[in-house]
Amino acid sequence: MTTLDRPSTTSTNRALPANASEWLHDPVFNKGTAFTDAERDALGLRGLLPPHVQTMDEQVQRVMANFHSKSSDLERYIQIVGLQDRNETLFYRVVMDHLEEMMPIIYTPTVGKACEQYGHIFRRSRGLFISLKDRGHIGTVLRNWPTRDVKVIVVTDGERILGLGDLGASGMGIPVGKLSLYTACAGIHPTQCLPITIDVGTNNETFLYDPLYIGLREKRLRGEAYDSFIEEFIQAVQNVFPRVLVQFEDFGNSNAFRLLERYRDKICTFNDDIQGTGSVALAGILSALHLTAGKQMRDQRVLILGAGEAGMGIADNIVSILQEEGCSIAEARKHIWFVDSKGLIVKGREALTEHKVHYAHDHAPCLDLLTAVKFIKPTMLVGVSGQAKSFTEEIVKAVAGFNARPVIFALSNPTSKAECTAEQAYSWTEGRAIFASGSPFAPVTLNGKTYVPGQGNNAYIFPGVGLGVVATGARRVTDAMFIKAARTLASLLRKEELAEGRIYPSLKRIHEVSLAIAVAVAEEVYASKLTDQPRPANLIQFILAQMFKPEYPDYAT
């Protein structure tokens, strides 16, 4: 590892355990078989552990052997989350050292399966559940968390988990997984991360009748009552954890946009599905521009399937870039077209939301994607509809017919919802597609050439943005930070990576990526005067010094 890869903090914000049982059962402190002889004497652990003291490397070897012996990804998820519940330091060492292998397990696609089965595979509670039973007492529930030193909260109400829909309280796998990535990718200390699931009921009929479902058995709260429950939550969070960064995650889009508008100028918050997705997709688009015939954003026509949180986040970021290129906002919006569940978004279509109205074109109604593609002749086709297989062979070939290098992003998650696979995109375009997906696809070999599909994973963006915000004590999260993050990510792509077909740097470089994004975000924080703290002379060292390192402290001394 280089200095840049090596985060440096191991200390925790928690009081040390009071007895041997706590040392062994608190995942923050437990070292398992790696407690040294001196520690076993000092902490009263003699005899409570097998006599051979293992090194961390030996422990990692054991974990990985077990991991590889499992017969399904869900079993791997259960194993690895079990490790997180027993020994967090070892968990992060394993995840950080094997990130490419672990990311699809602790996050999409496997986390989706885990959420669908959450009540059935439930072992040990992790994070905070705040339910309608806690109305009027949310502050008390927050104070039950073992530390006040929380820097990042990821909160969901479980209504739109990945592309899987309403999973209610079982959505907890998502904040847990996202926060694991904050630590694994950007070194935010695990004890400063708090996953929260707000249980306001579920409309998932299967769960409502499942005796093993873990949440409230009632229909979702809506309207004014929902908003006032969220308001109580936000107020309580501000009281108990002042200045914490709150990331909204996987809320249904009828709430997500409204809550973002309501809170973005009042507290330190962002919505990853809107802003994080907009940023990572923009980075992919900026990288793709090195390969397309028209090298500038203003040469592009972007057709987006799905006009929800992700689609709008992507469109708004493209508009920002076009404005930087000198377009007016009205001109910029003309470069972007949407098809949603009711067809092409055109002027005069009934019941368009405010966001959709911005992107409504003067055009006759058109109900299907293929017809829209033939008319618009997009240079870029982006899927964020949650509708599996909606990029058919005919559609992809049509886009390839207009472009030497068609940009095809099938971003819907998990893998089962992707609009097309990497193999389809490359084979239907004779290898000409510039392809990215939301969940990972393996490299594809076609006529002797291997293509490495891009994964437009938000994990390239939110950990670095969060680190920059937390390290500088920023009061707000702004759209400008996400544009800076996208530009930074795109700028890190190496020529040889681009030559392999990648439009994102290898995940092996994630610590370097997150640090660079954190530095860019920090510069934006200081430039916009969003913090009371002075800019340190050496910003990189300042941020590096705050990053968690998965190493065991010596507890004997």
Piece of the chain touching ligand NAD by CB under 6 A; list 190-198, 215-223, 411-419, 495-503: 411-419
Cα four-point dihedral sign 66, 70, 73, 77: negative
Task: Restricting to residues 262-301, name those near ligand NAD by CB under 6 A.
Answer: 273, 277, 280
Q: State the burial class of residue 371 (Cβ atoms within 10 Å of its Cβ: 0-12, 13-18, 19+).
A: middle
Note whether 456 binds ligand NAD by CB under 6 A. Answer: yes
Q: How far is the CB of 401 from ligand NAD (least distance, A)?
A: 22
How far is residue 349's CA from residue 472's CA, in Å, rounded to a whole number? 45
Closest residue to ligand NAD using C-beta atoms = 308
Q: Do 521 and 465 contact (CB within 8 A), yes or no?
A: yes
Piece of the chain touching ligand NAD by CB under 6 A; list 12-20, 160-168, 202-210, 475-483: 160-168
Q: How far is the CB of 388 from ligand NAD (least distance, A)?
A: 9
Beta carbon nearer to ligand NAD, 215 or 311? 311
Q: How far is the CB of 17 from ligand NAD (least distance, A)?
A: 39
Cα dihedral 37, 39, 41, 42, rounded to 10, equals 160
Piece of the chain touching ligand NAD by CB under 6 A; list 8-16, 127-135, 157-165, 424-432: 157-165
DSSP conformation class of 169:
G
Interface with ligand NAD (CB under 6 A), residue from 282, 339, 376, 467: 339
How far is residue 435's CA from residue 420's CA, in Å, rounded to a whole number? 10
**Active-site residue numbers?**
107, 178
Is-cis flag, bond preceding 406, omega within 30? Answer: no
Kindly state the number of chain residues that form the binding site for ligand NAD, as judged by CB under 6 A. Answer: 29
Q: Do 464 and 514 contact (CB within 8 A), yes or no?
A: yes
Q: What is the end-to-end Cα distance of the chain in Å, rounded?
A: 28
Interface with ligand NAD (CB under 6 A), residue from 76, 93, 417, 509: 417
Beta carbon nearer to ligand NAD, 141 or 155? 155
Interface with ligand NAD (CB under 6 A), residue from 292, 412, 472, 514: 412
Note whether 253 binds ligand NAD by CB under 6 A. Answer: yes
How far is residue 167's CA from residue 446's CA, in Å, rounded to a whole number? 39
Look-up of token digits 């070292």: 31
Note whether 421 binds ligand NAD by CB under 6 A. Answer: no
Polymer length in residues for the chain = 557
Q: How far is the CB of 252 from ligand NAD (least distance, A)?
A: 7
Q: Do 359 and 345 contact (CB within 8 A), yes or no?
A: yes
DSSP per-residue string spanning 300-323: --EEEE--SHHHHHHHHHHHHHHH
Interface with ligand NAD (CB under 6 A), residue from 247, 292, 458, 514: 458
How far is residue 74's CA from residue 114's CA, in Å, rounded to a whole number? 6
φ and ψ at 153, to 5 degrees? -110, 130
Beta carbon nearer to ligand NAD, 307 or 492? 307
Interface with ligand NAD (CB under 6 A), residue from 163, 175, 187, 406: 163
Note whether 384 binds ligand NAD by CB under 6 A. Answer: yes
Q: How far is the CB of 349 from ligand NAD (least distance, A)?
A: 12
Q: How far is the CB of 12 from ligand NAD (least distance, A)?
A: 31
Structure tokens of 449?
């050439």
How far is residue 385's CA from residue 366's CA, in Å, rounded to a whole number? 17
Note whether 355 binds ligand NAD by CB under 6 A. Answer: no
How far is residue 480's CA from residue 317's CA, in Å, rounded to a whole number? 9
Task: Restricting to residues 298-317, name those near ligand NAD by CB under 6 A.
Answer: 305-311
**Site residues (vs ligand NAD, CB under 6 A):** 160, 162-163, 253, 273, 277, 280, 305-311, 339-341, 384-387, 411-413, 417, 438, 456-458
